[in-house]
Amino acid sequence: MTYPLQDIRVLDFSRVLAGPFAARMLSDLGADVIKIEPPDGDVTRYWGHEIANIPGYFHQQNAGKRNICVDLRADGAQDLIFSLVEKADIVIENYRSDVMPRLGLGYDDLRGVNKEIIMLSISGFGSKGPESRRPAYAPVIHAEAGLVQRSTSLKGVPLHDLPLSIADTNASLHGLVGILAALHMRKTTGTGQHIDMAMIEATVATDDQLQYDLDRSHDTGPLPNEIWELPFGPVLISSDFRLLFRLLVSELDLPDPSNPDMALEKKIALRRQAVDEFMQTLDTPDKFTRAMKTINIAWGYVRDPHDLPSQPTLDARGTFTEVEDRDGGKRHVVQSPYHFSDATSGVRGPTAHRGEHYREVLSDWLDMDHDSADTLLENKILLYDPNWRHH
């Protein structure tokens, strides 16, 4: 085996981010991931720059997966899904908690077909509790989990959402941990698991700052990291200002402009002014990096995300790669971050059009001939139109 999970089969019923990201990571680790797309398409087919009818957001989260489009409400769809579940190891879905059971595809239904099936269900508020049927995207969880309020209160700015969907990706990654744990346990028990992953719970569990809020003790933590506007551009220095000042004085001979008799506020103001004036003398990246290396302080350039492919470490580690864009060219995609000593990981192919792999998937998984697969297409259980567009 070259890929760690190359003997694993996954049915991915999920949409948008929380489920698709988990399934994309499983694909990068070698699993055969089949995206079961609904007739109206994943909503992310509306988002991002489009090449060959594949928008950028959908491309990033679904590269390497094969795709069939199934109308789960059609007569005969449940039988088809059950046949696939018999061959599957993992099912991923991120509908509201009542949706899959209403379709006859809840965990109890699938377990009746395959007792070894592992099902990951990601929803905003989980399947148990008073809010189990609430719809939720990441911004809803950012608000409910206190992240929006904390960002505002600590920075003194108007209420605003976060610039990434951390609630989704937290739930994805915790879901991956659950899946891998269940795969390991299945070796002993011979049975699968249902993993009920609530986005709000995953977010709270991963929130390293929450203990300050619970104890009302933000004042006991370190001072926030600061961004300094230097002649060559902004940099973030990851240090308490008090430590930064002491190191500049002791290691780089910065004069202390204060004296013991000064009021604290004036002392702080003068020291900040002195540090700022010193920082402005570091007018090239080379001068700045030498100074930071001397005082052994962590720092980072404040980069435009558009330029991340040129970030030295990302470039050296092959974080950005290219796959076919389905239009005769190549398209960037971000790799999974797994680097093994004796195994392979990474995106394994381009992004699929809606439903395009129905023949090969049903042949590979169910030994179904093309005529039988085409009959499912004619009966509108499966859908595929190579010219279908989300517009």
CB atoms < 10 A from the CB of 389, how many?
11
Whole-angstrom CA distances from 88 to 8, 10, 84, 366 are: 8, 6, 6, 11
For strand 90-93 and strand 66-70, is the pairing parallel, antiparallel, or unpaired? unpaired
Question: What residue type is assigned to position 99 of the chain?
Answer: V
Length of the chain: 391
Across 134-144, b (16+ Cβ under 10 Å) vs e yields eebbbebbbbb
Is 168 one of the catalytic residues?
Answer: yes
User: Could you tell me which of 115, 111, 165, 119 has the C-alpha nearest to residue 138?
Assistant: 165
User: Could you tell me which of 90, 98, 101 has the C-alpha nearest to residue 35?
Assistant: 90
Query: Catalytic one among 12, 32, 168, 196?
Result: 168
User: Could you tell me which of 20, 188, 198, 186 has the C-alpha nearest to residue 89?
Assistant: 186
What is the rounded CA–CA span in Å between residue 103 and residue 34? 19
With residues binned 3-state (H G I as helix, E B as strand, rest as coil), the percentages for the chain, rounded to 5, are 45, 15, 40
Cβ(193)–Cβ(118) below 8 Å: yes
For strand 320-324 and strand 330-334, is the pairing parallel, antiparallel, or unpaired? antiparallel
Cβ(142)–Cβ(170) below 8 Å: no
Q: Which residues are catalytic?
A: 168
